[in-house]
């Protein structure tokens, strides 16, 4: 169970309106009491912040807005004191365009780092070498007059892609990972883990058939969604990069590699990347980070990965710093705390590692950020068809009545959401029935049940909008039932193997001779025995 922290928006202790590492340290007691096992800290490295930390100038130093290496060491030490592992983000697919490696590489075609990035000559007519597109919209190729060549950027123009076919690049990245492992971290979350290697023949991506679901990246508002991305990512050669990463991390005891995968066949890619002992320990995909919220969709996505993964280990998330918050993305009618509690319980019951994004334990809705206050380059490029990622990145509301919701003493980098501050931490802590306390209770209860930690998963045939499945380990079998709808739903007794329910972690479900009745957004967990 991993809790994701977005440092810019977690807690500001130095009064600049931006969260910092000491702010994380100050709130780790809160995180530990949730009942999670680890934290994932999004990038805090030196950066020009064009993509708010995912464009890195120095992989081995802390950006001054977040603190310094001593602040990092304090954060790591406190996490370990509280029994929390720490996983840190590594966005090594690319660098910032002011990284010293890139400044040298772009200076000429024959300097020592000339091959550290993906440089390609133009076509005879001066056009880019192929039709590849940036995830953020527009061509993935940017002209560099110093070399009279194009460089590849799968994201912002200011995020040039490293060339992982260059041995010196691979060695340099391994050195970066070793730096943090030697410092004592427990693992890495690898950003864009399927982007490291591209097709060396630079073949055009084919168009995306109309019957295929839109690609990740703002849907049809973004031309990126109009291609099948088979040559610009998820290449077979990418396995060699993952093997090098795994070989390094295996030299350190009890370390962990989590990959982010987004492509047209993400269950297969995630399974391939997680299978065996030569690649990543687990991967999460965007399969449950989209708009579809039906029981059939959730079941199909989970069963597909389970069928493919063999001896691999799944990972699931319902939200993160890149997508609309769950309470708003999957809302039916008004944002409903009952739905938030049910969805958290559902996530915690799936087989595998679970990632919970900061604020989801509160059931936060998506914040409304006016255009004048938007900061996300993705949203600014595609506005108004796509509003970007600012709404899921607004500051964590700690105190409902405090200035800036207790996040900072000054105006934050993104506006405070009134809808979020109304359900701040200090409002929910004293309420036994709050979303926060339901989350804490469930996670601490979950620790005591091996079926939910290591057990297999098998879905039961139930009508929409009910999702039901069995979790079974060597010493116990549990059954979970979730009503994803906004009206009461029932399961007939003949379809109900469960005899005993656990009232401490369910909603107001009732069991009679006729069967199980689940209220709107209700859920229940039970066992075979009475």
d(CA 172, CA 104): 15
Superfamily of domain 456-527 in the CATH hierarchy: Golgi alpha-mannosidase II (2.60.40.1180)
**Could you read off the pLDDT tens digit of each residue along the chain, which spans 530 residues?**
999 999 999 999 999 999 999 999 999 999 999 999 999 999 999 999 999 999 999 999 999 999 999 999 999 999 999 999 999 999 999 999 999 999 999 999 999 999 999 999 999 999 999 999 999 999 999 999 999 999 999 999 999 999 999 999 999 999 999 999 999 999 999 999 999 999 999 999 999 998 876 665 566 689 999 999 999 999 999 999 999 999 999 999 999 999 999 998 999 999 999 999 999 999 999 999 999 999 999 999 999 999 999 999 999 999 999 999 999 999 877 889 999 999 999 999 999 999 999 999 999 999 999 999 999 999 999 999 999 999 999 999 999 999 999 999 999 999 999 999 999 999 999 999 999 999 999 999 999 999 999 999 999 999 999 999 999 999 999 999 999 999 999 998 888 887 688 988 988 888 888 889 999 999 999 987 64
**pLDDT value, residue 217:** 57
**pLDDT value, residue 86:** 98
Buried residues in 194-204 as b, exposed as e (16+ CB within 10 A): bbbbbbeebee
Angle subtended by helix axes 238-249 and 167-183, to nearest 10: 30
Catalytically active residues, by annotation: 191, 260
Pick the CATH number of 2-95+166-445 from 3.40.50.2300, 3.30.390.30, 3.40.50.300, 3.20.20.80: 3.20.20.80
**pLDDT value, residue 529:** 63
**pLDDT value, residue 526:** 92
Contact between 438 and 421 under an 8 Å Cβ cutoff? The reply is no
**pLDDT value, residue 202:** 98
Determine if the pTM surpasses 0.85.
yes
d(CA 362, CA 428): 8
Output helix, strand, coil percentages for the chain, rounded to the nearest 5: 30, 20, 50
Torsion, Cα 202 206 208 213, to 10 degrees, reads -50
**pLDDT value, residue 228:** 94
SS (H, E, C) 403-465: HHHHCCCCCCCCCCCHHHHCCCHHHHCCCCCCHHHHHHHHHHHHCCCHHHHCCEEEECCCCCC
Instruction: List the domain boundaries for the chain.
Output: 2-95+166-445, 456-527
**pLDDT value, residue 214:** 64
User: Nearest Cα to 40, choosing from 93, 94, 85?
Assistant: 85
**pLDDT value, residue 494:** 83
């Amino acid at each position: 169970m991993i809790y994701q922290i977005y440092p810019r928006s977690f807690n500001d202790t130095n009064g600049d309106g931006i969260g910092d590492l000491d702010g994380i340290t100050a709130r780790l007691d809160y995180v530990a009491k949730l009942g999670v096992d680890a934290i994932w800290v999004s990038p805090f490295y030196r950066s020009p912040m064009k993509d708010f930390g995912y464009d890195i100038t120095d992989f081995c130093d802390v950006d001054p807005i977040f603190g310094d290496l001593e602040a990092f060491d304090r954060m790591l030490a406190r996490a370990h004191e509280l029994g929390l592992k720490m996983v840190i983000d590594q966005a090594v697919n690319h660098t910032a365009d002011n990284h010293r490696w890139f400044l040298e590489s772009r200076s000429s075609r024959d300097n020592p780092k000339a091959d550290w990035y993906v440089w390609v000559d133009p076509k005879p007519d001066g056009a880019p070498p192929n039709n590849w597109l940036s995830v953020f919209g527009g061509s993935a190729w940017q002209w560099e007059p110093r070399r009279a060549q194009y460089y590849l950027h799968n994201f912002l123009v200011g995020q040039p892609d490293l060339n992982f076919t260059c041995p010196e690049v691979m060695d340099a990245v391994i050195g970066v990972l070793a730096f943090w492992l030697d410092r004592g971290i427990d693992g890495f979350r690898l950003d864009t883990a399927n982007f490291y290697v591209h097709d060396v023949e630079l073949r055009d991506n084919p168009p995306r058939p109309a019957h295929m679901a839109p690609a990740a990246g703002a849907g049809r508002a973004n031309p990126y969604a109009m291609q099948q991305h088979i040559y610009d990512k998820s290449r077979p050669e990418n396995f060699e990069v993952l093997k090098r990463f795994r070989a390094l991390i295996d030299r350190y005891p009890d370390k962990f590699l989590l990959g982010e995968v987004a492509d047209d066949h993400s269950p297969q890619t995630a399974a391939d990347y997680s299978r065996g002992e030569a690649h990543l320990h687990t991967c999460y995909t965007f399969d449950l980070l989209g708009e579809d919220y039906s029981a059939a969709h959730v079941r199909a996505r989970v069963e597909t990965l389970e069928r493919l993964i063999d001896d691999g280990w799944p990972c699931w998330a319902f939200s993160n710093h890149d997508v609309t918050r769950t309470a708003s993305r999957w809302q039916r009618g008004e944002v409903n705390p009952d739905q938030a509690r049910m969805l958290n319980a559902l996530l915690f019951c799936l087989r595998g590692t679970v990632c919970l994004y900061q604020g989801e334990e509160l059931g936060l809705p998506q914040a409304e950020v006016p255009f004048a206050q938007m900061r996300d380059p993705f949203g600014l490029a595609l506005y108004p068809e796509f509003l970007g990622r600012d709404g899921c990145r607004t500051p964590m509301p700690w105190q409902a009545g405090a200035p800036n919701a207790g996040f900072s003493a000054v105006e934050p980098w993104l506006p405070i959401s009134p809808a979020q501050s109304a359900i701040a931490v200090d409002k929910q802590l004293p309420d036994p029935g709050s979303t926060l306390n339901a989350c804490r209770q469930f996670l601490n209860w979950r620790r005591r049940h091996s079926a939910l930690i290591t057990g297999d998963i098998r879905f039961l045939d139930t009508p929409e909008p009910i999702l039901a499945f069995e979790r079974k380990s060597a010493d116990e079998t549990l059954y979970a039932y979730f009503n994803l709808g906004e009206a009461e739903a029932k399961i007939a007794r003949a379809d109900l193997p469960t005899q005993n329910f656990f009232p401490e972690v369910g909603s107001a479900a009732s069991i009679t001779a006729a069967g199980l009745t689940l209220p709107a957004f209700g859920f229940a967990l039970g066992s075979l025995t009475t």
